[in-house]
Amino acid sequence: MSKNLTHIDAEGDARMVDVGAKAETPRKAVAGGLITMSAEALEAIKAGDTPKGDVLGTARIAGIMAAKRTHELIPLCHPLGLDAVNVDLAFEESGVRVNATASLTGKTGVEMEALVAASTALLTVYDMAKALDKGMVISDVRLLEKQGGKSGHWKADSV
Protein backbone atom coordinates (compact mmCIF):
# COMPACT_ATOMS: atom_id res chain seq x y z
CA MET A 1 0.00 0.00 0.00
CA SER A 2 1.12 3.55 -0.70
CA LYS A 3 2.38 5.45 2.32
CA ASN A 4 0.66 8.56 0.90
CA LEU A 5 -2.81 7.23 1.74
CA THR A 6 -3.35 8.52 5.26
CA HIS A 7 -6.65 6.72 5.83
CA ILE A 8 -5.36 3.27 4.80
CA ASP A 9 -3.27 1.09 7.15
CA ALA A 10 -0.42 -1.29 6.19
CA GLU A 11 -2.94 -4.07 5.46
CA GLY A 12 -5.01 -1.86 3.17
CA ASP A 13 -7.86 -1.36 5.63
CA ALA A 14 -9.58 1.98 6.21
CA ARG A 15 -8.59 3.72 9.43
CA MET A 16 -9.15 6.98 11.22
CA VAL A 17 -5.98 9.08 11.27
CA ASP A 18 -4.44 9.59 14.72
CA VAL A 19 -4.24 13.35 15.27
CA GLY A 20 -3.32 13.08 18.96
CA ALA A 21 0.21 14.42 18.58
CA LYS A 22 -0.69 17.26 16.21
CA ALA A 23 -0.64 20.84 17.44
CA GLU A 24 -3.87 22.80 17.55
CA THR A 25 -3.91 25.57 14.97
CA PRO A 26 -6.60 27.90 13.57
CA ARG A 27 -8.38 26.26 10.64
CA LYS A 28 -11.07 27.47 8.28
CA ALA A 29 -12.77 26.11 5.19
CA VAL A 30 -15.28 27.54 2.73
CA ALA A 31 -17.40 25.39 0.43
CA GLY A 32 -20.17 26.30 -1.96
CA GLY A 33 -22.64 25.16 -4.53
CA LEU A 34 -25.62 26.19 -6.62
CA ILE A 35 -29.18 25.04 -7.07
CA THR A 36 -30.88 26.13 -10.28
CA MET A 37 -34.62 26.10 -10.77
CA SER A 38 -37.53 27.45 -12.75
CA ALA A 39 -38.23 31.17 -12.68
CA GLU A 40 -41.56 30.46 -10.96
CA ALA A 41 -39.94 28.52 -8.12
CA LEU A 42 -37.26 31.16 -7.68
CA GLU A 43 -39.83 33.95 -7.53
CA ALA A 44 -41.89 32.01 -4.97
CA ILE A 45 -38.82 31.55 -2.76
CA LYS A 46 -37.96 35.25 -3.07
CA ALA A 47 -41.54 36.22 -2.18
CA GLY A 48 -41.71 33.79 0.73
CA ASP A 49 -44.64 32.08 -0.96
CA THR A 50 -43.73 28.39 -0.81
CA PRO A 51 -45.78 25.54 0.65
CA LYS A 52 -43.19 24.76 3.35
CA GLY A 53 -42.38 28.29 4.51
CA ASP A 54 -39.05 30.10 4.86
CA VAL A 55 -36.77 28.27 2.42
CA LEU A 56 -33.53 30.19 2.98
CA GLY A 57 -33.85 30.36 6.77
CA THR A 58 -34.55 26.65 7.00
CA ALA A 59 -31.67 25.82 4.65
CA ARG A 60 -29.29 27.97 6.71
CA ILE A 61 -30.18 26.17 9.96
CA ALA A 62 -30.00 22.75 8.25
CA GLY A 63 -26.50 23.50 6.95
CA ILE A 64 -25.28 24.58 10.38
CA MET A 65 -26.79 21.51 12.05
CA ALA A 66 -25.29 19.20 9.43
CA ALA A 67 -21.79 20.64 9.84
CA LYS A 68 -21.91 19.81 13.54
CA ARG A 69 -22.80 16.19 12.72
CA THR A 70 -20.37 15.57 9.86
CA HIS A 71 -18.55 12.83 11.79
CA GLU A 72 -21.85 10.90 11.96
CA LEU A 73 -22.21 10.99 8.16
CA ILE A 74 -18.67 10.60 6.85
CA PRO A 75 -17.13 7.47 8.41
CA LEU A 76 -13.51 8.55 8.91
CA CYS A 77 -14.10 12.15 10.02
CA HIS A 78 -13.19 13.14 13.55
CA PRO A 79 -15.89 14.64 15.78
CA LEU A 80 -14.97 18.33 16.02
CA GLY A 81 -15.85 21.13 18.39
CA LEU A 82 -16.50 23.78 15.77
CA ASP A 83 -15.98 27.40 16.77
CA ALA A 84 -18.28 28.74 14.06
CA VAL A 85 -20.35 27.71 11.07
CA ASN A 86 -21.87 30.26 8.72
CA VAL A 87 -24.16 29.43 5.83
CA ASP A 88 -24.86 32.23 3.37
CA LEU A 89 -27.50 31.92 0.66
CA ALA A 90 -27.81 34.38 -2.20
CA PHE A 91 -30.17 34.64 -5.13
CA GLU A 92 -28.72 34.39 -8.61
CA GLU A 93 -30.43 34.80 -11.95
CA SER A 94 -31.49 31.16 -12.15
CA GLY A 95 -31.25 29.88 -8.59
CA VAL A 96 -29.68 30.08 -5.16
CA ARG A 97 -25.96 29.98 -4.38
CA VAL A 98 -24.79 28.64 -1.03
CA ASN A 99 -21.46 29.37 0.65
CA ALA A 100 -20.68 27.65 3.95
CA THR A 101 -17.76 28.48 6.23
CA ALA A 102 -16.59 26.31 9.11
CA SER A 103 -13.81 27.21 11.53
CA LEU A 104 -12.09 26.04 14.68
CA THR A 105 -8.80 25.90 16.47
CA GLY A 106 -7.92 22.23 16.38
CA LYS A 107 -5.80 19.34 15.18
CA THR A 108 -7.58 18.58 11.93
CA GLY A 109 -9.20 20.52 9.10
CA VAL A 110 -12.82 21.47 8.59
CA GLU A 111 -13.17 20.98 4.84
CA MET A 112 -15.67 18.15 5.22
CA GLU A 113 -17.77 20.19 7.66
CA ALA A 114 -17.98 23.08 5.18
CA LEU A 115 -18.84 20.69 2.32
CA VAL A 116 -21.52 18.91 4.35
CA ALA A 117 -23.00 22.26 5.41
CA ALA A 118 -23.18 23.53 1.81
CA SER A 119 -24.57 20.24 0.48
CA THR A 120 -27.21 19.98 3.17
CA ALA A 121 -28.31 23.58 2.70
CA LEU A 122 -28.71 22.93 -1.04
CA LEU A 123 -30.65 19.71 -0.40
CA THR A 124 -32.89 21.60 2.01
CA VAL A 125 -33.68 24.23 -0.62
CA TYR A 126 -34.66 21.36 -2.90
CA ASP A 127 -36.84 19.76 -0.22
CA MET A 128 -38.53 23.04 0.66
CA ALA A 129 -39.32 23.92 -2.98
CA LYS A 130 -39.79 20.53 -4.66
CA ALA A 131 -43.57 21.03 -4.81
CA LEU A 132 -42.86 23.97 -7.13
CA ASP A 133 -40.11 22.41 -9.28
CA LYS A 134 -39.01 18.78 -9.11
CA GLY A 135 -36.42 19.42 -11.84
CA MET A 136 -34.13 21.63 -9.76
CA VAL A 137 -30.43 20.86 -10.27
CA ILE A 138 -27.77 20.97 -7.57
CA SER A 139 -24.31 21.60 -9.03
CA ASP A 140 -20.84 22.96 -8.47
CA VAL A 141 -20.51 21.70 -4.89
CA ARG A 142 -16.84 22.10 -4.06
CA LEU A 143 -14.25 23.35 -1.65
CA LEU A 144 -13.55 27.00 -2.37
CA GLU A 145 -10.87 27.76 0.20
CA LYS A 146 -9.07 26.30 3.20
CA GLN A 147 -6.69 27.83 5.70
CA GLY A 148 -4.47 26.29 8.34
CA GLY A 149 -2.85 22.94 8.93
CA LYS A 150 0.21 21.42 7.31
CA SER A 151 -0.85 22.28 3.75
CA GLY A 152 -1.47 25.95 4.63
CA HIS A 153 -3.70 28.22 2.58
CA TRP A 154 -5.41 26.93 -0.56
CA LYS A 155 -7.94 28.67 -2.78
CA ALA A 156 -9.81 27.24 -5.76
CA ASP A 157 -9.24 28.74 -9.17
CA SER A 158 -11.97 31.10 -10.41
CA VAL A 159 -13.76 31.52 -7.10
The mean pLDDT of 31-58, rounded to a whole number, is 97
- Known binding-site residues for substrate equal 76-78, 112-113
Each residue's pLDDT tens digit, 57-78? 999 999 999 999 999 999 889 9
User: What positions carry a catalytic annotation?
Assistant: 127
Each residue's pLDDT tens digit, 110-148? 999 999 999 999 999 999 999 999 999 999 999 999 999
Structural domains in the chain?
Answer: 31-148 (3.30.70.640)
- Known binding-site residues equal 76-78, 112-113
The pLDDT value given to residue 3 = 53
The pLDDT value given to residue 5 = 61
3-state secondary structure the chain: CCCCCCCECCCCCECCCCCCCCCCEEEEEEEEEEEECCHHHHHHHHHCCCCCCCHHHHHHHHHHHHHHCHHHHCCCCCCCCCCEEEEEEEEECCEEEEEEEEEEEECCCCHHHHHHHHHHHHHHHHHHHCCCCCCCEEEEEEEEEEECCCCCCEECCCC
The pLDDT value given to residue 10 = 75
Least confident residue range of 46-50, 91-95, 136-140, 147-151 = 147-151
Q: What percent of the chain has pLDDT over 90?
A: 79
